[in-house]
Structure 1
Amino acid sequence: MTVRTPGRRAAAPWVRTRLRTAPGAAAALALLVAVTSFLAAALPLAIDRYDDAGLRRALETAGPDRTTVRLFAPPAGFAGEPDGQGADGREGDLRPDAMRDSHAAILAAAGRSLPLDPEQSSHGVRTTTGLPVPDPWLSRPDGLPPRLSLVAQDGLAGHARLRAGRLPGAGGAVTAATGTVEAAVSAETARKLGIGVGSVLHVPGLERAPLAVRVTGVVDPRAPRGAYWSTDPLLGSPGLVTVPGDPERRQYWTGALLLAPDAAPALLGTPGVPERYWHLAPDVSALHGHDLPRLTSAVASLVSGPLLRQARTAASPDTEADTSLDGVLADHARLRAALGPLVAVAVLGTGTVAAAVLLMAGGLAADRRRAELTLLRARGASLRGLAGRLLGETAVVAVPAAALGPAAALLTVRGARPAHSVAAAGVVALLACAALPLRAVAAHRAVRVHAVREDVVSARPSRRRTVAELTLLTLAVGAVVALRVRGVADGTRGPGAPDDPGASGDHLVSLAPVLVGMAAALVLVRLYPLPLRGLARAAGRLRGVVGPLSLARAGRASGSAVLPLTVLLTALTTAAFGGSVLSGVADARDRAAVLAVGADARVTSLRALPDGLADRVRRVPGVRAVTPVGIVYDAQPEDGRMTVPVAGVDPSGYAALARHTDLGAFDRDALGADGASGAKPLPALASPVVADHYGTRPFAVRLDDGAFVTVRIVLVRERTPALADQEFLVVDRSGLPAGSARPTSLLVTGDHPDAAVLREVAGGGTRVRVRAEELAAHVDSPLRSGAERVYAAAVAAGAGYAVLALLLTLLRAAPERAALLARLRTLGLTRAQGRRLLVLESLPQALLAAAGGVLTAWATVRLLSPGVDLTTVALSASPSPAGRVALRTDPVSLLVPALAVVALTVGVAVAQAWWTGRRGSVRELRAGDDR
């Protein structure tokens, strides 16, 4: 027996009692919140990860010569400018200590805004013009002496491996008058120019004798692709340069001689216009995509802003800066801006569905406990007290479950901003905790003894609901109209286009599917009772009992069906929109790959291919057919006003190839030569421009070997496999002269031809292009592929939440249906009739959701397609070889989710009827059952 202490109130253990009463519901809520919290927390981490990877790939692809920030300044007083220091002052500016101090100051100033890599950043002194070295033993391709730069760059010992000899030194105080200095050269420079250890090169002097440069060592770069060596490629590899304006196009070598930093003053004694330089290499591993605005601002400041002023203070007032890093960042920003709105479509759609499911779970719990909460209100419980207790019992379950989400996300998905994940999980926890109390407060504002029926057929929405629905409908229509007007005004430029990355239309694209889904749900819920009443009246005249009873039961469903229908329509719309985007991207990439290759693989050569190569290629694994093509690229028609490539083909095989690739399919008989000769023109397939120019009259074409052939255009096609991206003439090669008929290309058809074997069989002097490799080139972008993965994952998650919403909707009515079925069983209803009753009862809402989803998704894609350009998302090439990639409806994405809704509804109804029949009717008919 419990003894109560006088003067103290006994606190009822509400939360513990509720958790013990319904442990299954608490576990289900915890699981739902944990999964939702994980998805919400993983999303920003996944976006950050692919954004970071995309930025780093963009910088790595651009290379250090474009991403390094170059600062340069002439020595004080050089080129006749007074400095008040004389020659000693100019030489002092070039000495290692002065250069090292200025480099450290510049790194410290720039590193606070732009992450820099101190190991790959470099500084030194160099001649800005190549100096002709007249030594006759050096390599001279066209009899011209090489032009070499003198470079005294700090840190050579740490960035090079010594292959021969030793590193250069100064051997004392070097001045402008020094006659001999030491240098090293890269192994490639030594090999191509014929330089060895001990070689002495004589560089022209400025008002003095030539400077003798003795080579003391040959080095190999430790990291040849790093910024230390690649910012100025001549440090590691010489290059051939053509003499400007030379009609003979003679060439000479350019390269670099690597001096010791202490020998930098010797450059003042040469006519090479020496300058000091500081190369600032960004630390690619420390750059993040979300810092793109800050990085762009830092680069701009370093090129012409406050950071440049600080560099001038540390180095020289004449310091200037130059880089292409701002252009690389701008290109990345444009691609990022194009991908963002499309990814946001899936994210917002899935987020809306997930939020609605959490609200539905709270609503289901409130409906399940309606009698309990009604009794508490009738016994004097206040709304505040009731909401507080419900909030407490929900928070005990939801908050720990929500905390698991970011913890699991941080372990599985590495990201740079965990705070965003924690915030997203916090939103999920707040929504999960507030759903049940808010639903309970809304349903029990007034104290009632009996619950008011809200049948879908007889329910009359309140004025507040009508106003809210009209407001939402107006917003949806306004957003779509604004998007359409913007798309018409801007032509083909879609939201997120490079010249308008931050336009408000981007948000319209992202919100449009959700808004359209909500608006469609409101309209359908309003229209749904009309056909239901008509069907119910018509079914009342039927003899059977199942049809009329099922329609009557469908009409007695809950009138608050807006939220479940919104979930389903939003999920179906997002899935269809996402499927159309992914399908359009895949089709555009495949089309671009076909246009680039013209077949599944292609072997080309500038000259005629060897005899028997076609037979050897046919035996390569994965090859089904080989179509030889002889292409004359410089053929000239008789008027000589244009050059038209002429492709000689075998009509039968080439027609099959054109059908296979869908590039200008034609009838093979129309192109047959039929013994055509000079008197009878060859039938030709032409591009529209060529056909418009020459018409259908016969005309002569001069081939590259001087022979003439007469052709007549009989077919016109936009594209053809052999010359997909050019104007063309295609003729039967049996009617061409023997020299022009020899194949220069082999167009290969097959399932995944082995590229390695093809290259081995083709041999040297040929180029092999494979369709699969061209396709992979468009996919090989972390930003594109990462956005696609996030998009696909969001669409899949939205589909999962849609299924869960459908199950919650069916679960909400499951107890009442089970009780009805049990009672009807006692009246003689058979099991088959019970199954039909449940299926027919659930079909109207399922068909409403499916039909509404198909129509809404179709309308959304049609409405948004003028403002959505998938070219940037799909293809890496600019401009696109396939033209503008527009958004088109994908029938599979449109119909499969809708049919899945109907199938799942029918399956659940059949399963419930089977389970109810198996359990029997005793439990459902026991006394006191309030169902």
Structure 2
Amino acid sequence: TAVACAALPLRAAVAHRAVGVHGARRDVASARPSRRRTVAELTALVLALGAVETLRRRGASGTGGDLVSAAPVLVGVIAALLLVRLYPLPLRRLARPAGRLRGAVGHLALARAGRTSVSAVLPLLALLTALTTAAFGGSVLAGVTDARDRAALLTVGADARIEETGPLPAALTDRVRRVPGVREVVEVGLAYQAKGPDGRQTLPLAGVDPAAYAGLAARTGLGAFEADGLRRGGSGQPLPALASPAVAERFGTGPFRTRLEDGTSVTVRIALVRDTTPAVSGDDFLVVDRSGLSAEAARPSVLLLSGDRLDAGALRRAAGDDAGAGPGAVLLRSEERHRYVDSPLQSGAERAYAGAVAAGTGYAVLALLLSLLRAAPERAALLARLRTMGLTRSQGRRLLVLESLPQAVLAAAGGVLTGWAAIRLLAPGLDLTTIALAGAASPAGRAELRTDPWSLALPALAVLVVAVGVAGVQAWWSGRRGSVAELRAGDAG
């Protein structure tokens, strides 16, 4: 009877031999994820991997379906769950060094940043999902823009192009140089029907000034090369030529004769191989020093213009002063680019992705604002209590900013990494050619999804700016109200 009666009091005494609080505080740094959460996270991981793999296999053939929109979100969710599990590690690493500092602001901010695991999961999940969506949509828009710019550049070869089937008037070059906005003019003698050594196969052959043409190729990024590699040697030596890979494979590196349209022949030797060149858009071309050509073949039939804000009307008027160059011979890179944007599919898809960028950025900012405002009353009461113990207003602002930074920095860094990873994972399964170049044949080939640094950085910076700004405004507002009002509000809550 004595043992039975004493068992309960003794158990209570043993349990309460040390002073403690009722209900242990569930900090992020100490909380252990449950088994149900682990199973749910693994299930989401399997779904995300399946969606990414399916999109990579089917996307290139256009049968990806809804996975194009679901895969970036799934990748963001998985990254958020992973970062929530890793979130306690830096807090544990930083808590001890911060505790040895002279001031208590840093240690207190880290301690409060790691409190309550529930409040850390949902904002991070929302932030990373939104940031990943914004980065993906922005990279799609950047990829579409790059594809159109590349296609227009390959077609024109420079900022503007004046071309005729025959030689251009001798005075045209000087007139074009005087047009406002024109910085440089490169003359090209282009023969589209030059014949190879067998006399049957034809290919374009361009005669250029090596120095001027090398500078244009370097500025445009179309097959940059050293001018000395294209200059003609001594008398009787073959002309060094720049060729496309297909022509180099067909004719090799030995000398061979090429017959031009005016009936003359020239012996060339392929010295340089480039995939692209400004004068010709296509898989077959030869470029040689025009000083080694006949006077008729060396006459320019193409002018490649470089400049800013070129006036199409002024160029056409300058080209139309002589009968040899009509208005139809002028082609501007800006006009060529607009030719690729001519279908409802393109405009609708661009608006959809632009809406995704805006919605993703807005959703990330809204999630951060709601997370910070939810804890606003408790933070205001804390600042009021700390001011009664000597905390200054500047220290209060610093406390709130430091408390909000760990989650904001983790979300911003995680959003950048997750967006980059999502783009790298999904790029092989996405072809942007239909969106970028629908309805027009493009020399640029397949338009691929590429990482856009601005699309990754701007939403992440917006999250950091909002986090710091809200914390600063909250500290300023609580300082205006005064400690007594805040303590009463906190006691009432």
Provide the TM-score with structure 2 as the length reference. Answer: 0.89
1:559-570 alignment to 2 at 5 Å? 559-570=118-129
Q: Which residue identity lines up with residue 494 of structure 1 in the other structure?
A: A
Q: Provide structure 2 residue ranges, at least 5 long, that are not aligned to the other structure.
A: 1-21
CA deviation vs aligned residue, 1:428-450 (integer Å, no higher than 9, x gap): xxxxxxxxxxxxxxxxxxxxxx9
Structure 2 partner of 1:709:
266
Q: Name the CA distance, whole Å, in 2 between partners of 1:717 and 1:467.
A: 54
Are 2:364 and 1:792 equivalent residues in the alignment?
A: no
Q: Name the CA distance, whole Å, in 1 between partners of 2:83 and 2:246.
A: 52
Indicate if the aligned counterparts of 1:644 and 1:728 stay in contact, CA closer than 8 A: yes
Q: Which residue identity lines up with residue 51 of structure 2 in the other structure?
A: A
Q: Name the CA distance, whole Å, in 2 between partners of 1:777 and 1:689.
A: 29
Provide the TM-score with structure 1 as the length reference. Answer: 0.48
Are 2:195 and 1:636 equivalent residues in the alignment?
A: yes
Q: Name the CA distance, whole Å, in 1 between partners of 2:439 and 2:344.
A: 15
Picking from 248, 256, 262, the partner of 1:699 is 256
Are 2:226 and 1:654 equivalent residues in the alignment?
A: no
Q: Name the CA distance, whole Å, in 1 between partners of 2:254 and 2:197.
A: 12
Indicate if the aligned counterparts of 1:600 and 1:752 stay in contact, CA closer than 8 A: no
Are 2:285 and 1:728 equivalent residues in the alignment?
A: yes
Picking from 69, 77, 94, the partner of 1:535 is 94
Q: Name the CA distance, whole Å, in 2 between partners of 1:616 and 1:535.
A: 69
Indicate if the aligned counterparts of 2:195 and 2:201 stay in contact, CA closer than 8 A: yes
Q: Which residue identity lines up with residue 745 of structure 1 in the other structure?
A: V
Q: Name the CA distance, whole Å, in 1 between partners of 2:173 and 2:76.
A: 56
Deviation at 1:633, TM superposition (A): 1.8
1:456-471 alignment to 2 at 5 Å? 456-471=28-43
Please give the secondary structure, in 2, of the residue aligned with 1:769: strand
Deviation at 1:458, TM superposition (A): 3.9
Please give the secondary structure, in 1, of the residue aligned with 2:391: coil
Are 2:447 and 1:885 equivalent residues in the alignment?
A: yes
Q: Name the CA distance, whole Å, in 2 between partners of 1:572 and 1:534.
A: 27
CA deviation vs aligned residue, 1:102-155 (integer Å, no higher than 9, x gap): xxxxxxxxxxxxxxxxxxxxxxxxxxxxxxxxxxxxxxxxxxxxxxxxxxxxxx
1:37-436 alignment to 2 at 5 Å? none
Picking from 444, 469, 478, the partner of 1:907 is 469
Q: Name the CA distance, whole Å, in 1 between partners of 2:241 and 2:80.
A: 57
Indicate if the aligned counterparts of 1:634 and 1:704 stay in contact, CA closer than 8 A: yes
Q: Which residue identity lines up with residue 518 of structure 1 in the other structure?
A: V
Picking from 801, 822, 847, the partner of 2:409 is 847
Deviation at 1:543, TM superposition (A): 2.9
Q: Name the CA distance, whole Å, in 2 between partners of 1:556 and 1:785.
A: 47
1:808-847 alignment to 2 at 5 Å? 808-847=370-409
Picking from 310, 316, 325, the partner of 1:753 is 310
CA deviation vs aligned residue, 1:576-605 (integer Å, no higher than 9, x gap): 101110000000000000111111111111
Please give the secondary structure, in 2, of the residue aligned with 1:852: helix
Deviation at 1:466, TM superposition (A): 4.2
Indicate if the aligned counterparts of 2:28 and 2:115 stay in contact, CA closer than 8 A: yes
Q: Name the CA distance, whole Å, in 1 between partners of 2:174 and 2:210.
A: 19
Structure 2 partner of 1:605:
164
Indicate if the aligned counterparts of 1:454 and 1:560 stay in contact, CA closer than 8 A: no
Deviation at 1:930, TM superposition (A): 4.5
Q: Name the CA distance, whole Å, in 1 between partners of 2:477 and 2:343.
A: 51
CA deviation vs aligned residue, 1:719-765 (integer Å, no higher than 9, x gap): 11111214111112122111111111111111132222222222255
Please tell me whether Structure 1 or Structure 2 has the larger radius of gyration of its CA atoms.
Answer: 1
Q: Which residue identity lines up with residue 50 of structure 2 in the other structure?
A: G
Summarize the Cα distance change of 1:689–1:597 in structure 2 as closer, same or farther, 3 Å threshold: same
Picking from 158, 179, 198, the partner of 1:620 is 179
Q: Which residue identity lines up with residue 413 of structure 2 in the other structure?
A: A
Q: Name the CA distance, whole Å, in 2 between partners of 1:927 and 1:876.
A: 61
Q: Name the CA distance, whole Å, in 2 between partners of 1:907 and 1:494.
A: 44
Indicate if the aligned counterparts of 1:631 and 1:645 stay in contact, CA closer than 8 A: yes
Root mean square deviation of aligned Cα = 2.2
Structure 2 partner of 1:512:
71
CA deviation vs aligned residue, 1:220-261 (integer Å, no higher than 9, x gap): xxxxxxxxxxxxxxxxxxxxxxxxxxxxxxxxxxxxxxxxxx
Are 2:460 and 1:898 equivalent residues in the alignment?
A: yes
Deviation at 1:682, TM superposition (A): 2.0
Q: Name the CA distance, whole Å, in 1 between partners of 2:297 and 2:230.
A: 17
Deviation at 1:879, TM superposition (A): 5.2
Q: Which residue identity lines up with residue 468 of structure 1 in the other structure?
A: A
Q: Which residue identity lines up with residue 687 of structure 1 in the other structure?
A: S
Are 2:429 and 1:870 equivalent residues in the alignment?
A: no
Indicate if the aligned counterparts of 1:682 and 1:735 stay in contact, CA closer than 8 A: yes
Q: Which residue identity lines up with residue 864 of structure 1 in the other structure?
A: L
Indicate if the aligned counterparts of 2:431 and 2:447 stay in contact, CA closer than 8 A: yes
Deviation at 1:797, TM superposition (A): 2.3
Deviation at 1:928, TM superposition (A): 7.2
Summarize the Cα distance change of 1:470–1:705 in structure 2 as closer, same or farther, 3 Å threshold: closer
Deviation at 1:559, TM superposition (A): 2.2
Please give the secondary structure, in 2, of the residue aligned with 1:506: coil
Structure 2 partner of 1:858:
420
Picking from 27, 43, 50, the partner of 1:478 is 50
Indicate if the aligned counterparts of 1:584 and 1:887 stay in contact, CA closer than 8 A: yes
CA deviation vs aligned residue, 1:656-705 (integer Å, no higher than 9, x gap): 2111221111112222236x44x122222111222233333333222222
Q: Name the CA distance, whole Å, in 1 between partners of 2:379 and 2:300.
A: 75
Q: Name the CA distance, whole Å, in 2 between partners of 1:823 and 1:885.
A: 60
Q: Name the CA distance, whole Å, in 2 between partners of 1:848 and 1:582.
A: 26
Summarize the Cα distance change of 1:758–1:711 in structure 2 as closer, same or farther, 3 Å threshold: same
Structure 1 partner of 2:143:
584
Q: Name the CA distance, whole Å, in 1 between partners of 2:346 and 2:117.
A: 44
Deviation at 1:463, TM superposition (A): 4.8
Deviation at 1:927, TM superposition (A): 8.3
Picking from 336, 342, 347, the partner of 1:780 is 342
Q: Name the CA distance, whole Å, in 2 between partners of 1:688 and 1:592.
A: 19
Deviation at 1:909, TM superposition (A): 1.5
Please give the secondary structure, in 1, of the residue aligned with 2:384: helix
Q: Name the CA distance, whole Å, in 2 between partners of 1:472 and 1:877.
A: 39
Indicate if the aligned counterparts of 2:138 and 2:353 stay in contact, CA closer than 8 A: no
Picking from 110, 115, 123, the partner of 1:551 is 110
Please give the secondary structure, in 2, of the residue aligned with 1:644: strand
Deviation at 1:621, TM superposition (A): 2.7
Higher relative contact order (CA 8 A, sep 6+): 2
Are 2:60 and 1:494 equivalent residues in the alignment?
A: yes
Q: Which residue identity lines up with residue 469 of structure 1 in the other structure?
A: E
Indicate if the aligned counterparts of 2:140 and 2:353 stay in contact, CA closer than 8 A: no
Q: Name the CA distance, whole Å, in 1 between partners of 2:382 and 2:490.
A: 15
Q: Name the CA distance, whole Å, in 2 between partners of 1:530 and 1:726.
A: 55
Q: Name the CA distance, whole Å, in 2 between partners of 1:811 and 1:728.
A: 64
Deviation at 1:573, TM superposition (A): 0.3
Please give the secondary structure, in 2, of the residue aligned with 1:884: coil
Indicate if the aligned counterparts of 1:777 and 1:876 stay in contact, CA closer than 8 A: no
Indicate if the aligned counterparts of 1:601 and 1:747 stay in contact, CA closer than 8 A: yes
Deviation at 1:529, TM superposition (A): 1.9
Picking from 127, 133, 139, the partner of 1:574 is 133
Q: Name the CA distance, whole Å, in 2 between partners of 1:481 and 1:742.
A: 56
Please give the secondary structure, in 1, of the residue aligned with 2:318: helix
Indicate if the aligned counterparts of 2:381 and 2:489 stay in contact, CA closer than 8 A: no
Summarize the Cα distance change of 1:481–1:687 in structure 2 as closer, same or farther, 3 Å threshold: closer
Structure 2 partner of 1:75:
none
